[in-house]
Chains A and B, each alone.
Chain A
Amino acid sequence: MINYPFYFYTYIFLIAATILLSIGIEIALALSFFINKDLYKKYENLFLSMWEITGTSIVFFLVQYEALLPSLLVPIAYSFYPLIFIILFLFIFRNIGIGFFEGKSINKEYSKRDILIYLFGTLIMVILLVSILSTAITGYGIKIVNGNIFWGPSIIFNYFTLLLLLSTILFVLGILGYVFNVKKFKIYGLIGYLLVLLDIYLYENTIPYLFFFPLIILLILTFVNLKDIVQRILFIISHYLNAMILETLLFPYIFGTININSLLSQSLPLLSAEFTISIIITIVVIGIYYFEIKTILS
């Protein structure tokens, strides 16, 4: 018998990890426009096409959330709508910019200003997304009274979110090191990860031993010279491993206190159908994406 709540809880974490990774790669490559032009030129096509994965993954996250937590849809819609509209606005800003940007790029017509506009919209969007993710993990900054959710600016201004935001910035720089082999940036990725561990320690008063496996991988990546492809694969494995360890630690709670076992209300046939389709989506998307990456980088 499949434990559907656990499966979908894991799945939504993996989608969130994909969004974080793809936005991280986008921002890292956008930054390389200013700090390493050769690197930018080499991976320009990857940068220009990355938003397609980011955008689609965000929509997938939304649908998965709707499928996982029908009972939470109403209270969240009633309380979080201002924040969600702001994120949507930033999404407009970023996507309209990026569409023209990519269109103009066919004739190599875009400029530093275009990239700055894109970076501005994307960075603020990331801050808000990471803050929501952080709140979903800890519940800091929200109050639940009689089924209604109340929140304030403290969803951003709490130690957990601020440390997470700082480590996200370092994670982006780490991507330049681990994925694109700019050696001097690897150390930032490692420091970013240590900050995540500190964050978890402050929240849980302990660090589960499982987190040491990704730490060992990052230490190897930082201090040992490996082939590019091995380095990338190990980094991606450590990234998803972290997501899975985190969700194992947090399951079955969201917002720190809400048990999702009591919220999952679909029928067994529907859950089973969603399970089957989620497996198909994963296999098909990874397969075609592999082909796309090969095409782009060739």
Chain B
Amino acid sequence: MLPVYDIDRIVFASSLAIHIIIASITIGMPFAIGTLELYGILKKDESIKNLAQRISILILVLFAIGTLSGTIVAVEMYILFPEFMQIVSNTAIISLYIEILAFFIESLFVGIYFYSFKKYNNSVLHPIFMYLIGIFAATSGFLIITLNAFMNYPVGIEYLNGKYIDINPYSIFFTPIEFIEASHGILASLEFGLSIFVLVISYKILKESDIENIKIYGKALKLIIPILFLSILLLGIFGINSADTLAQYQPVKYSTLEANLNGNISNVPENLFGIVTNNYTLIDSIQLPNLQSLLLYGSFNSNAAIPGIYANESYTSSPNDITIAHNSFDIMAIFGFLIFFISLYGSISLIISKEDKKDKKFTLNPKYTFYMNKLLLYGLILLSVLSLISLETGWVAAEVGRQPWTIYGILLTRDAANLNPGVVPIAIAFELIYITLFVLSIWAIKRYFINKL
């Protein structure tokens, strides 16, 4: 039987896993829809403008579910980890407080956008409202990740009379890891949201038989794929920088993610996958000699030491946590490369292909009309699935990699959690119902909204 705090973790993690999906879509997709609508208005292209407005209904539905999943996360974070929220309330709550402002503005612009189709029919203001939804959704995400950065690297607080209190409320915005962590997180959400838009359009093309409709969808892909590619490129750059920042400011977490179990040593191999045994040995992994040193210090023969875990230290992650964090990290990174190559192929095909084919065909030839190329369309669907897995595994790596701490060096997860055993059956029952309803919602979104686009 798992301890109560592990059940708290699992319940909260499953709620957050759902919320990340919805929140990321509402960060990324508004930029795609806004761009499409803006193009339609500026170029007087009614078909594209109408397509943008039809797809925008998805944002409305997802925003309703996102408000719900966000509220559930906020309430569960408090109910399942009250000691954590108590410390946050005395120290870092300012980011949550400002997040409320961003959330309010986002929610108001959702209303303004959806009830002003007639009033701002051909005005560029209307797509700007959609951009604002995305911008404030991203701001909300930025502020939440700021709290997460504080959990990784707590600053600006003091231990006084038996409790932590804040001495500089705004210092959480200036931790050395803030910019990289928040930018990386927001770019991952943006990329995933855009990939879902591309998934919907690719799926519609595969299902559609009317060539005129396919051309409209094709035009939408042509507009959005470059933005998607750019976001993937930036995500990669920030991802690589994240690893460097981790090694510098969170060496223990870095060691966990890389499964470096032999202390600080030089000429370290890149460990791919593997299982950490109870005596902290990595088995069944693929080792690429010296690659980790090369990636971190840019030299095969660097004598600089790479951070590593000393298993006999206090508060070391459990072998299970290291296994989960390390494998999640590897999956995220490898899928990140695959995503990049698919989007690169899509971008090249978009540039060099000619728009003259009227039959959908499965071909490797990038010159074949890109929106008629089934390989590319299935590839784009695969890209969004890989993006989803990368998003989730990236987050698992980030959170499990910090264990056993909830706030690093300050609050252990087992001390943060609600240890009342009565929570267990209620929380599990609630979570099962919630997950079931969420799956049903996805099915209903496809049936009532995507199929009717």
Contacts and interface: CB of A to CB of B under 8 A. Distances in A.
A102 B437 CA distance: 18
A99 B60 contact: yes
B100 A85 contact: no
A58 B78 contact: no
B338 interface: no
A126 to B, nearest CB: 16
B107 A55 contact: yes
A8 to B, nearest CB: 11
A296 interface: yes
Contact of A295 (B63, B96, B112, B422): B112
Contacts of B116: 295
A285 interface: yes
Nearest to B84: A73
Contacts of B426: 81-82, 85
Contacts of A98: 64
Contact of A291 (B63, B91, B112): B112
Contacts of B103: 56, 59
A67 B444 CA distance: 38
A267 to B, nearest CB: 5
Nearest to A265: B90
Contacts of A104: 448
Given A295-B115, A296-B111, A60 B104 contact: yes
Contact of A288 (B96, B108, B433): B108
B244 to A, nearest CB: 32
B112 A63 contact: no
Contacts of A99: 60-65, 68, 441
Contacts, number: 213
A15 B434 CA distance: 27
Nearest to A297: B115
A77 B86 CA distance: 11
A60 B112 CA distance: 20
A272 B167 CA distance: 12
A78 interface: yes
B50 interface: no
Given A63-B100, A78-B82, A88 B71 contact: yes
B67 A56 contact: yes
Contact of A89 (B78, B79, B433, B441): B433
A208 interface: no
A28 B97 CA distance: 31
Contact of B61 (A45, A71, A102, A288): A102
Given A55-B71, A270-B94, A285-B104, A62 B78 contact: yes
A175 B167 CA distance: 46
A281 interface: yes
A230 interface: no
Interface in A75-92: 76-78, 81-82, 84-85, 88-89, 91-92
B441 A62 contact: no
B154 interface: no
Interface stretch (A46-54, A150-158, A160-168, A232-240): A46-54
A36 interface: no
Interface string A265-286: 1110110111001101100110
Nearest to A285: B104
A59 B165 contact: no
Interface in A243-298: 265-267, 269-270, 272-274, 277-278, 280-281, 284-285, 288-289, 291-292, 295-296, 298
A224 interface: no
A181 to B, nearest CB: 21
A271 to B, nearest CB: 9
B148 to A, nearest CB: 16
B89 A73 contact: yes
Nearest to B59: A103
Contacts of B80: 77
Given A88-B72, A291-B112, A265 B165 contact: yes
A184 B144 CA distance: 48
Interface residues of B, number: 69
A222 B163 CA distance: 53
B82 A103 contact: no
A92 B89 contact: no
B101 interface: yes
A58 B68 CA distance: 11
Contacts of B89: 66-67, 69-70, 73, 266
A280 B94 CA distance: 13
A66 B93 contact: yes
A78 B418 CA distance: 7
Contacts of A85: 79, 426-427, 430
A67 B75 contact: no
Centre residue among A59, A98, A106, A281 by max chain B CB count within 10 A: A59
Interface string B254-289: 000000000000000000000000000000000000
Contacts of B114: 49, 102, 106
B68 A284 contact: no
B110 interface: yes
Given A70-B89, A266-B165, A52 B67 contact: yes
Interface in A94-118: 95-96, 98-100, 102-104, 106
B75 A62 contact: yes
B71 A73 contact: no
Contacts of B207: none
Given A95-B64, A292-B108, 5 more contacts: A59-B67, A74-B82, A77-B80, A85-B430, A284-B105
Interface of B: 57-58, 60-65, 67-68, 70-72, 74-76, 78-80, 82-83, 85-86, 88-91, 93-94, 96-101, 103-105, 107-112, 114-116, 119, 163, 165-170, 418, 420, 422-423, 426-427, 430, 433-434, 437, 441, 444, 448-449
Interface of A: 45, 49, 51-53, 55-56, 58-60, 62-63, 66-67, 69-71, 73-74, 76-78, 81-82, 84-85, 88-89, 91-92, 95-96, 98-100, 102-104, 106, 265-267, 269-270, 272-274, 277-278, 280-281, 284-285, 288-289, 291-292, 295-296, 298
23 contacts: A56-B104, A59-B67, A59-B70, A60-B100, A63-B97, A66-B85, A73-B82, A73-B85, A73-B89, A74-B86, A78-B82, A81-B427, A82-B422, A100-B64, A100-B441, A102-B64, A267-B165, A267-B166, A273-B169, A274-B169, A277-B98, A288-B105, A296-B115
Q: Which 7 residue pairs of A and B lie closest in terms of their CB atoms, listed nearest first?
A: A99-B64, A77-B82, A70-B89, A95-B68, A273-B169, A49-B111, A55-B67
